[in-house]
Amino acid sequence: MHVAGQGGSYSAAQGADFKSAQFELRQRAARGSADVMRLTPDGVISLQGVSFTTCPASDQSWRLRADRITLDTRTKLGSGRAARIDFKGVPLIYLPWVSFPLGIERKSGFLFPSIGNTTRSGLQLSVPYYWNIAPNADFTFQPVEYSRRGTDLGGDLRYLTASQRGELQWNYLPNDTVFGGSRSRVRLTNVAELPGDFRFSVDAANVSDSSYFEDFSQGPEGTSTAFVERRATLSLRNEHWRVDGEAQQYQTIDNTLEETDRPYTRVPRLAASADYGWGPAELVRYGFDSEIVNFDRAISASLCSAANPCVTGWRIDLSPKASLNFDGPGYFIHPSFAWRATQYELKYEQNNVTPGQERSPQRTLPIASFDTGLLFERAAGARGQRTLTLEPRLLYLDVPYRNQDNIPLFDTALPDLYPVELFRTNRYVGADRVGDADQVSVGLTSRLLDARDGRQFLAVTFGQTYYFQNPRVRLPDELARTDKRSDFVAQVALTAFRNWGADLGLQWDPQTSSSERAHVNLQYKPAGEQVVNIGYRFERGSLEQAEVSGAWPVSRSWDAFVRGVYSLRDDKALERFVGFEYRACCWRARFGGRRFVSTHTGSQDTGVFLQLELTGLASVGSASDAFLTEAIRGYAAPETSLRTSTAN
């Protein structure tokens, strides 16, 4: 601290006294004045008639004024009485008692208020309290008063030890006057490293009703959340083995989903896998994958019938495997073989099992594949500073046909087709279907790399599968393929130009000569807080959307934020957001508005926010950084203020 005064006195016993003192806290880039200042020998600084700011002498934008402030340099804590914050000469907040850290240390106390407004909930005001329980634990009590709904009691408990880390979050609204009842949300996340290579993890959440996220979430995810997951996993991992014991449940948030379309619980799920190498350079690799899982689902008996028997039950899946790995400079050859055996023990809600509905169906089949690829490289660029690669790949897959119509679909689906999917040994995700195959998949990748550090500038990948026999195994809603080739898929990732990036994908159906899926994402990002995104997505019969988002300075002091999502298929805007930020040397202000459409109900909501940050002291308003980071891809909020100041 640097101190100057018009007059003062000093004694070895009592320290120094200054009148009309000017002081400077260089560690916090702050300055101020006091009618009386006393510096005691034990490191305590007492000030009376105090004015404090982080603004330069030429700027009087904001000040903290207090009758009395005490700064303890030993504990690095400060406190004050009868304090208020003036902004542009207007009193903003009055604080009978204020305490704050002198450094970056955490301090218990009331955080500064936050405010916001939405159509659904009205004006909202929160005055959180932060409790620094210990160096490795803290708790934030976050009550929120909604003008239309009532008081929400929220909390956030975080902890960290040598062997585990976790967080418990909750909200409880005893009486939502709009909803007509109580509302709540709780989420627990915990990861514990246990002795003997064991790990236990929990990620479990619950909400009181299906409209909770739409009513209270401030980010884009609130309009599209369909499920809330609850998962607990105990894992054992070492160099060759992995064993998982798991319980997984879902709470359905999207009420438009029929009960028969909602996901199954998997309680319990036991999975084990092993992978070993043998011989020189581990020429032979062998191991197995296995899983035992119980699928269950609550469903109304009235929805069950002979055609839809509402099946639950156990599935046991075992797949021993072996492969030869011939790897060398510029090539690989991997022939492999696996034997997959799957057994079910099923329960039908309809007691009379109709023909084709077995209680203990089973399936066994061999899976043979031959995977090979080459790598060609050559120097590129005027001085050979680039490396251009050509990487052809071929996979032959032979899987015999097995009629699987008597096997239910618990967790199996056909994934979106990307180039990497062409080289899987099962075109389905999940064990309920194994696709028959007598086919060869071919792909070609070309990359442009930095010859010095291997950084990738451009990657182009495309491929297709050719069928010697058309696949016969299909899902109920999957169309039969009569052509001898799959859809053509291509993907491009471009980072060749400074600050520019692009991601393009295409799935083309040669039978209809039309695209099935496509996406284009372009990004210009010269800095973390400067970014522009343009995107387009198309899925035949499902969606066609255009998206624009960005954060950009429009002058030395003003930044603009924008996000827009438009449905070309429905000819309507799904989301519109515009915001602005004004930055001064010692404060900044943000304000904006958002209007969005729920993907579940089609209803619209409008919200506005205002945030004022005083550099080195506090933030007053809604926490917009998290929303902007989520809404604008690639945006990184600048670190412009300390948020550890508290009021008691």
Backbone angles phi, psi at 556, to 5 degrees: -65, -25
Averaged pLDDT for residues 423-446 = 96
pLDDT, one tens digit per residue, over 175-201 is 999 999 999 999 999 999 999 899 999
Cα 353 from chain centroid? 44
Q: Which of 101, 127, 144 is the last residue of a domain?
A: 101
Cβ-Cβ contacts under 8 Å for 254 (sequence gap 6 or more):
210, 225, 226, 227, 600
User: In this structure, which amino acid lies at residue 396?
Assistant: Y
How many Å apart are CA 401 and CA 330, to the nearest integer? 35
* Residue 518 falls inside a structural domain: yes
Interacting residues of 40 by C-beta distance below 8 A, sequence separation 6+: 14, 15, 46
Which of 642, 611, 605 has its CA nearest to residue 626?
Answer: 611
Section 604-609 average pLDDT: 80
Instruction: Give SS3 for 221.
Output: helix
Asked whether the beta carbons of 213 and 225 are under 8 A apart, the reply is: yes
498, part of any domain = no
Residues 249-304 pLDDT 10s: 999 887 777 777 789 999 999 999 999 999 998 999 999 999 999 999 888 777 77
Of the two residues 269 and 55, the one the predictor is more confident about is 269
Please compute the mean of the pLDDT values over residues 317-324 and round it to a whole number: 98
How many whole angstroms separate alpha carbon 540 and alpha carbon 56? 59
Evaluate if residue 355 carries a pLDDT over 60: no
Burial class (CB in 10 A: 0-12, 13-18, 19+), 477: exposed
Tokens, residue 319: 């797949």
At 499-539, the pLDDT tens digits run 899 999 999 999 888 999 999 999 999 987 899 999 999 99
The average pLDDT across 392-419 equals 94
In a domain, 567, yes or no: yes
Domain-located, residue 386: no
| Secondary structure (DSSP) of 510-528 | TTTTEEEEEEEEEEEEEET
Q: What angle do CA 224, 226, 229 make, to 5 degrees?
A: 125
Q: Which of 551, 596, 553 is nearest to 576 (CA)?
A: 596
Give yes or no for a contact between 593 and 578, defined as CB atoms under 8 angstroms apart. Answer: yes
Count of domains forming the chain: 2
Q: What is the rounded (10 degree) CA torsion for 479, 480, 485, 491?
A: 20
- pLDDT tens across 232-243, in order? 999 999 999 999
Beta strands in 208-264 (DSSP E): 227-237, 241-252
**Residue 195, preceding peptide bond in cis (omega within 30° of 0):** no
* Residue range 90-104, pLDDT digits in tens: 888 887 877 766 666
CA distance linking residue 214 with residue 216, whole number of Å: 6
Residue 641 has pLDDT above 60, yes or no: no
Cα–Cα distance for residue pair 422/443, rounded to 1 Å: 8
> Residue 555 falls within a domain, yes or no?
yes
Q: Are 110 and 646 in contact (CB under 8 A)?
A: yes
Task: Please indicate whether residue 648 or residue 429 has the higher confidence score (pLDDT).
Answer: 429
- Which residues lie across from 255 on neighbouring strands? none
In a domain, 351, yes or no: no
Structural domain for 605, as ranges: 513-648
Residue 37 CA to residue 7 CA, distance in Å, equals 11
pLDDT per position as a tens digit, 221-235: 555 678 899 999 999
Q: Report the 10 Å Cβ neighbour count for 384.
A: 10
Quickly state the pLDDT bin for 638 (edges 50, 70, 90).
low
Which of 47, 70, 101 delimits the end of a domain? Answer: 101
What is d(CA 533, CA 525) in angstroms, rounded to the nearest whole number? 9
More confident residue, 167 or 210: 167
| CATH number, domain with residue 25 | 2.60.450.10
- What is the spatial distance between Cα 356 and Cα 306, in angstroms, rounded to a whole number? 11
The burial of 196, by beta-carbon neighbours within 10 Å (0-12 exposed, 13-18 middle, 19 or more buried), is given as exposed
Last residue of a domain, one of 51, 86, 101: 101
| Rounded distance between C-alpha atoms, residue 368 and residue 432, angstroms | 19
Cα–Cα dist 21/40, whole Å:
15
* DSSP code of residue 222: G
The yes-or-no verdict on residue 563 having pLDDT over 70 is: yes
pTM: 0.82
Residue 460 domain-assigned (yes or no): no
pLDDT of residue 646: 39
Nearest CA to 643 among 621, 626, 619, 625? 619
Evaluate whether residue 79 is within a structural domain: yes
User: Considering the chain, what percentage of its residues have pLDDT values greater than 70?
Assistant: 90
The kind and range of the H/E element at 630 are helix 624-631
pLDDT of the residue at 199: 96
pLDDT at 617: 66
Judged against a pLDDT cut of 80, whether residue 75 lies above it is answered with no
For residues 80 and 337, the model is more confident at 337
Q: 162 vs 166, 502, 563, CA distance in Å? A: 12, 41, 42
What pairing do the DSSP bridges indicate for beta strands 150-160 and 137-146? antiparallel
Mean of pLDDT over the chain? 87
Which parts of 127-196 are beta strand (E)? 129-134, 137-146, 150-160, 164-176, 181-194
Confidence (pLDDT) at 475: 93
